[in-house]
């Protein structure tokens, strides 16, 4: 747990978020500045800064299974979606509590910018 971390505060319900799924491992909530019709962030309850700091393979599994569950609940599982983890400066990471973006509801470009 990190006192000052934004996503830890959302996990602890100290700041509001539109939560779409939570279980003992992860919390998922809508991005405040959505980049697609569906844009949900899935975070582990535990504070881990970046993908470089992840050591728990099961935790990654819980994040990705939650991403797929959210896609089904949002109705984008069949049309398709993207699950991405931005890591570090060049990866575009701005919040240093590891998270999976779940984006869908429109055709996404590839390669990303």
31 near ligand 5GP, judged by CB under 6 A? yes
95 near Zn ion, judged by CB under 5 A? no
Count of chain residues binding ligand 5GP (CB under 6 A): 13
Q: Is 60 helix (H, G, I), strand (E, B) or coil?
A: helix
Q: What is the DSSP letter of 33?
A: S
59 near Zn ion, judged by CB under 5 A? no
CB neighbourhood size of 103 (10 A): 20
113 contacts: CB under 8 Å, gap ≥ 6: none
Distance of CA 99 to the CA centre of its chain: 4
Tell me whether residue 101 is one of the annotated catalytic residues: no
89 near ligand 5GP, judged by CB under 6 A? no
Binding mask 32-71 for ligand 5GP (x = CB under 6 A): xx-------x------------------------------
26, 67, 69, 86: residue in contact with ligand 5GP (rule CB under 6 A): 86
* Opening angle at CA 79, ends 104 and 17, nearest 5: 30
Catalytic residue among 39, 97, 99, 101: 99
Annotated catalytic residues are 99
């Amino acid at each position: 747990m990190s006192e000052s971390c934004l996503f830890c505060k959302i996990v602890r319900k100290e700041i509001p978020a539109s939560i779409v799924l939570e279980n003992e491992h992860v919390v998922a909530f809508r991005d405040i500045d959505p980049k697609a019709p569906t844009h949900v962030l899935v975070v582990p309850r535990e504070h881990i800064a970046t993908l470089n700091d992840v050591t728990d393979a099961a935790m990654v599994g819980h994040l990705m299974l939650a991403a797929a569950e959210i896609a089904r609940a949002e109705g984008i599982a069949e049309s398709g979606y993207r699950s991405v983890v931005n890591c570090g400066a060049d990866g575009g990471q701005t919040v240093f509590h590891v998270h999976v973006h779940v984006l869908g509801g429109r055709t996404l470009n590839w390669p990303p910018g």
